[in-house]
């Protein structure tokens, strides 16, 4: 069986103004169990993204978790993934503010963990072609996008399992596809079932093939933290080291530098695309998505994320206030 690179990770954020009880519940049921389980498997590296707001909350409420992250970074088990400090939708804010958000996060991570992030997580995976140059200028070498977003650029088959190169104004950034559908399916699979899916992918894997299982760290169910599920899965990963190689994003990109360019259109996660539609169109989109799930082709791309400003007037007012403040 061919060797298969596997990126395991989570992206984590604490919404501003969220009730303290909810934040504490997320910590106790998801954030802490995931990291505690991962810590027991030092040979399994992971990619971890925490927004600046969440890090502030953890440093105040649960500094023990921050210390645990720092130890895992120190023993080269965890790669910290950067991003916008306040988890902004980067394409919706002015260019110099995008860089300010990235630099603020990078500075915070360097001070707290002694490491500079080489990649970043995009809030809601909202992508704009100009981000390639913005991210590179901000010191980022890679980012993650959903595999369905790769499909919008015409990628398919093996291309959905290989990193590509996005370019803007002569600047490049690597883009790693996240196998979101496999992450979602894991909630209904056993650890052995997920391993079998990975084995199936490995049968035709090439030297650049990578499976990125990166999901919302606030989830308390599989594949991240639930009743021993993650512990069993990581044990299977360790037992199958002969063909399954857990890696950090930077390590994979060093071993298999992407060479194929991919020009991604304006797009976002499927969830955001769905939310931007009015109720009737949303219903039709869900029906098309469900039909595609039964082998009847690909669903339509959904809505456009900037339509949020029209669909939800409050967000339009927030945007106008932000632009006014920026001008001042």
Tell me the average pLDDT across 20-36.
Answer: 95
pLDDT band at 234, cuts 50/70/90?
very high
Give the tokens for residue 160. 């959905």
Residue with tokens 């970074």: 73
The pLDDT of residue 315: 92
Helix (H, G, I), strand (E, B) or coil at 99: helix
Q: With bands split at pLDDT 50, 70 and 90, how would you rate the model's confidence at 201?
A: very high
pLDDT at 220 over 90: no
The region of weakest confidence among 101-105, 122-126, 191-195, 217-221 is 217-221
Distance CA 217, CA 14 (A): 11
Band (pLDDT 50/70/90 cuts) for residue 293 is low
pTM: 0.94
Q: Where are the alpha helices (DSSP H) in the chain?
A: 20-26, 32-39, 52-61, 63-74, 95-113, 131-137, 147-152, 180-185, 191-202, 229-239, 249-255, 270-275, 279-292, 308-311, 313-327
Q: What is the mean pLDDT of the chain?
A: 93
Rounded to the nearest 5 degrees, what angle is found at the Cα of 8, between the Cα atoms of 5 and 13? 150
pLDDT band with cut points at 50, 70 and 90 for residue 303: confident
Burial profile 102-140: b = 16 or more Cβ within 10 angstroms, e = fewer: beebbebbeeebebebbbbbbbebbbbbebbbbbbbbbb
Interatomic CA distance for residues 252 and 44, integer angstroms:
14
d(CA 157, CA 111): 41
Are the beta carbons of 265 and 130 closer than 8 angstroms?
Answer: no
String of DSSP letters for 239-271: HTTTTEEE--HHHHHHHS----B----SB--HH
Residue 166 dihedral angles phi and psi, to the nearest 5° = -95, 140
- What's the pLDDT band for 299 if we cut at 50, 70, 90? low
Contacts of 55 (CB under 8 A, 6+ apart): 66, 108, 112
pLDDT digits (tens, 9 = 90+) for 61-115: 999 999 999 999 999 999 999 999 999 999 999 999 999 999 999 999 999 999 9
Q: Provide the CB-side half-sphere exposure for 290 (13 A, CA).
A: 6
Confidence class for position 292, pLDDT limits 50, 70, 90: confident
Give 266-287 pLDDT, tens digit per residue. Answer: 999 888 988 899 888 888 888 8
pLDDT band at 225 (very low <50, low <70, confident <90, very high): confident
Distance of CA 93 to the CA centre of its chain: 20
- Bridge-based pairing state of the strands 171-178 and 164-168: antiparallel
In the predicted model, is pLDDT for residue 309 greater than 60?
yes
Nearby residues of 75 by Cβ (< 8 Å), 6 or more positions away:
42
């Amino acid at each position: 069986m061919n060797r298969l690179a596997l990126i395991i990770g989570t992206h984590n954020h604490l919404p501003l103004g969220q009730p303290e009880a909810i934040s504490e519940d997320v910590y106790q049921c998801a954030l802490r169990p995931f990291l505690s389980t991962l810590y027991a498997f030092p040979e399994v590296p992971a990619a971890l993204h925490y927004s600046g707001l969440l890090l502030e909350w953890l440093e105040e409420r649960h500094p023990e978790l921050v210390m645990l992250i720092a130890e895992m970074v120190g023993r080269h088990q965890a790669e910290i993934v950067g991003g916008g400090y306040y988890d902004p939708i980067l394409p919706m804010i002015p260019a110099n503010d995008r860089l300010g958000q990235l630099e603020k996060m990078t500075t915070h991570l360097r001070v707290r963990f002694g490491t500079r992030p080489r990649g970043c997580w995009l809030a809601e995976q909202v992508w704009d072609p100009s981000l390639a140059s913005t991210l590179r200028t901000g010191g980022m070498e890679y980012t993650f996008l959903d595999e369905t977003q790769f499909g919008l650029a015409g990628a398919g088959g093996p291309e959905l399992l290989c990193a590509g190169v996005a370019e803007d104004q002569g600047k490049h950034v690597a883009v790693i596809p996240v196998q979101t559908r496999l992450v979602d399916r894991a909630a209904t699979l056993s650890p052995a079932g997920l391993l079998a899916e990975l084995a199936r992918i490995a049968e035709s894997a090439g030297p650049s093939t990578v499976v990125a299982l990166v999901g919302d760290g606030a989830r308390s169910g599989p594949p991240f933290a639930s009743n021993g599920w993650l512990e069993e899965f990581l044990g299977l990963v360790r037992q199958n080291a002969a063909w399954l190689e857990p890696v950090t994003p930077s390590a994979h990109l060093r071993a298999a530098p992407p060479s194929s360019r991919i020009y991604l259109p304006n797009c976002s996660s499927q969830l955001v695309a769905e939310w931007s539609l009015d109720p009737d169109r949303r219903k039709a989109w869900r029906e098309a998505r469900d039909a595609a799930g039964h082998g009847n082709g690909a669903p339509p791309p959904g809505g456009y994320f900037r339509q949020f400003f029209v669909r939800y007037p409050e967000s339009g007012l927030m945007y106008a206030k932000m632009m006014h403040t920026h001008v001042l």
